[in-house]
């Protein structure tokens, strides 16, 4: 099994599309109500769907980058604003927090080996 994609709701498709292009993703589907993006590395994708009414999304989407601080500096230079600067966390990840134009929470992070193999890792299977 492999995670195919995550779909985020958005209020304004054009505004959201511009935001994610600034983050460095490649758009591979472009319709008035749906957009899909390819991540710069690997084969992961994510998509946006236009929501007509009000919505609340409590999910968080994480994008990992080995050169996190450099990436954040580059994003700031094109006008991306952050709620939290890159910070070393107790769970051994370095992460920054921002929100897209529709209020979806995003964490940009680098975890290295600790992403899949933290010191407290367990292996449980059915």
Q: Is residue 46 part of a domain?
A: yes
Q: Is residue 120 part of a domain?
A: no
Instruction: Give the pLDDT confidence of 52-91 residue by residue, as tens digits.
Output: 998 888 999 999 999 999 999 999 999 999 999 999 999 9
Which CATH number is 20's domain given?
Answer: 3.10.180.10
Q: Is residue 111 part of a domain?
A: yes
Tell me the pairing of strands 84-88 and 94-99: antiparallel
Q: What is the mean pLDDT of the chain?
A: 95
The Cβ of residue 19 has, within 10 Å, a number of other Cβ atoms equal to 22
Under 8 Å CB-to-CB from 35, ≥6 apart: which residues?
13, 16, 17, 20, 27, 29, 47, 48
pLDDT band at 1 (very low <50, low <70, confident <90, very high): confident
Q: Is residue 124 part of a domain?
A: no
Backbone phi and psi for residue 77, each to the nearest 5 degrees, phi listed first: -70, -20
Looking at residue 119, its pLDDT comes to 95
Under 8 Å CB-to-CB from 32, ≥6 apart: which residues?
13, 50
Q: Is residue 121 part of a domain?
A: no
Q: Is residue 126 part of a domain?
A: no
Q: What 8-state DSSP symbol labels residue 56?
A: -
Q: Is residue 97 part of a domain?
A: yes
Question: Which stretch of 9-18, 19-28, 54-63, 84-93 has the lowest confidence by average pLDDT?
Answer: 54-63
Q: How far apart are CA 34 and CA 50, in angstroms?
A: 6
Number of domains within the chain:
1
Mean pLDDT of 37-61: 93
Range of the domain at 44: 5-115
Nearest to 44 by CA among 62, 57, 56: 62
Q: Is residue 86 part of a domain?
A: yes
Can you read off the two tokens belonging to residue 34?
């749906």
Say if residue 28 is exposed, middle or buried (CB neighbours under 10 Å; 0-12, 13-18, 19+). Answer: exposed
Instruction: Give the pLDDT confidence of 92-103 residue by residue, as tens digits.
Output: 999 999 999 999
């Amino acid at each position: 099994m492999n995670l195919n994609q995550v779909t985020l709701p958005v209020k304004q498709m054009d505004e959201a599309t511009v935001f994610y292009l600034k983050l460095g993703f490649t758009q591979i589907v472009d319709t008035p109500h749906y957009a899909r993006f390819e991540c710069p590395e690997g084969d992961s994708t994510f998509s946006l769907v236009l929501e007509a009414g009000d919505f609340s999304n409590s999910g968080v989407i994480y994008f990992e980058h080995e050169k996190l601080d450099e990436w954040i500096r580059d994003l700031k230079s094109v006008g991306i604003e952050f709620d939290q600067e890159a910070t070393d966390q107790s769970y051994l990840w370095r992460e920054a927090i921002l929100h897209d134009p529709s209020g979806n929470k995003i964490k940009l992070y680098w975890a290295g080996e600790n992403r899949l193999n933290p010191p407290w890792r367990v292996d449980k299977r059915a």
